Amino acid sequence: MIGQRSLRLKGPKRDDRDKLSRLFRPITRRRIRSCLFGYSLRRTNHHAESLDKFTPMSGYLNELTMRLAVGASLLPAELRSRHAQWLRKQQRDDGGFAGREGDSDPYYTAFALRALWILGELDETIGQASARFLRQRMTRRDSVIDLISLIFASAIVEMATGVVVISDDDADWRHNVAATLSTLRCDDGGFAKTPEGRAGSTYQTFLTVLCHELMDVPVADTESIARFLESQQHEDGGYLEIRVAKRAGVNPTAAAIGTLKTLGFLDTGAEQDTAEFVADMQGDEGGFTANTRIPFADLLSSFTALTTLVDLDQTDLVSVPRVQRYAESMQAPEGGFVGFTLDQVSDVEYTFYGLGTLSLCAALTADS
């Protein structure tokens, strides 16, 4: 799974990681565009041989992570340093990260690690402590979302630092996770949020497909997933979260496009209505609203909207500088990001969305 051969995530040696860090210094327009629109760094860089010594997360998450890392390398050094310092301070004594209240959990730990990784600040000290926390959580009966987050976080730690959280000897654990996820499968082809659910959730389906990808366990009957997603598309081009929803949303739309892309079913030429739906959600603040009924923008919707438009090669439908200004306005002076205009408390989840949004904007601006 996420071990020495699991997820094909062999941890690089220190000298290889040093070489990898140098890949992001000389940024060219060609390389930026390659990472934004789906080409691996190893196709464009003369240090490709060092990357061949290990393979990071496959597919969708690998491409997205590389996009964000390249974009983050273009952000001002002071901005990167301020938020990296804030993120490091959020790590708890148990090695995990928490939300605005409560104990550490895999969900917020995964977001914090992703944010540190794209900033180039996920070092071995942080990784070792996080790995200790994640290993302890493997023995608990967590919620499905925490289970999936644990797998994401484990993959990030191993990819960034070489610290193995889940070894290949844990094959039984991997199969048990796959069996647990299979209990969420619905007759409509999607995955529900709980085993008791009778209708698929677009977002849960996205998470489950990514989880299978990370575990290197094929998901069954991918064509029925594609049919499920087709049934979730609204007449306005967006996608519904659940079939009884009255309106489409930016976030389920991003989940649908991400799932189709992961499974190899995405036809960007057939998603013009989807791109226009997402673009229409850019509000007066510059950021994106979650749906047509929400009157204000938020960082989650702004990040997922921009990611979707990049996936569809339709970023020219929106004003990227306005998105950038909005994301910059969500920064807290001491570091971290709040979620929306009236929010007052930073957290690690919205900090990832804020950094991710600014990273995409930086890369798009440089490419233009």
Class of residue 224 by CB neighbours under 10 A (exposed 0-12, middle 13-18, buried 19+): middle
Separation of alpha carbons 243 and 231, rounded Å: 8
Tell me whether residue 267 is in a domain. yes
Contacts of residue 302, defined as CB under 8 A and 6 or more positions apart, other chains included, come to 287, 288, 323, 326, 327, 353, 357
Whether residue 19 has pLDDT greater than 60: no
Stated as kind and residue range, the H or E segment containing 108 is helix 106-118
Tell me whether residue 317 is in a domain. no
Of all residues in the chain, the percent with pLDDT exceeding 90 is 73
Nearest CA among 292, 254, 246 for reference residue 271: 254
Tell me whether residue 327 is in a domain. no
Please state the pTM of the whole predicted model. 0.84
The range of the structural domain enclosing residue 221 comes to: 6-271
Residue 172 has a pLDDT of 83
Nearest CA among 69, 72, 91, 89 for reference residue 80: 72
* Stronger pLDDT, 239 or 139, i.e. the higher one: 239
Whether residue 37 has pLDDT greater than 50: no
Lowest-pLDDT choice from 13-22, 137-146, 168-177, 310-319: 13-22
Residue 153 has a pLDDT of 95
Tell me whether residue 361 is in a domain. no
Tell me whether residue 258 is in a domain. yes
Helices of type H across the chain: 14-22, 29-36, 48-51, 59-72, 77-89, 106-118, 124-137, 144-161, 171-182, 202-215, 222-232, 250-263, 272-280, 299-311, 320-329, 348-367
Query: Is-contact 58 93, C-beta < 8 A?
Result: no
Residue 23 has a pLDDT of 31
Each residue's pLDDT tens digit, 182-214:
999 999 999 999 999 999 999 999 999 999 998
The DSSP letter of residue 135 is H
- Per-residue tokens: 55: 């393979």
Domain of 233: which CATH number?
A: 1.50.10.20
Separation of alpha carbons 3 and 163, rounded Å: 9
Q: Which amino acid is at 21?
A: S
Tell me whether residue 343 is in a domain. no
Total domains in the chain come to 1
Tell me whether residue 348 is in a domain. no
Each residue's pLDDT tens digit, 75-123:
999 999 999 999 999 999 999 999 999 999 999 999 999 999 999 999 9
Tell me whether residue 342 is in a domain. no
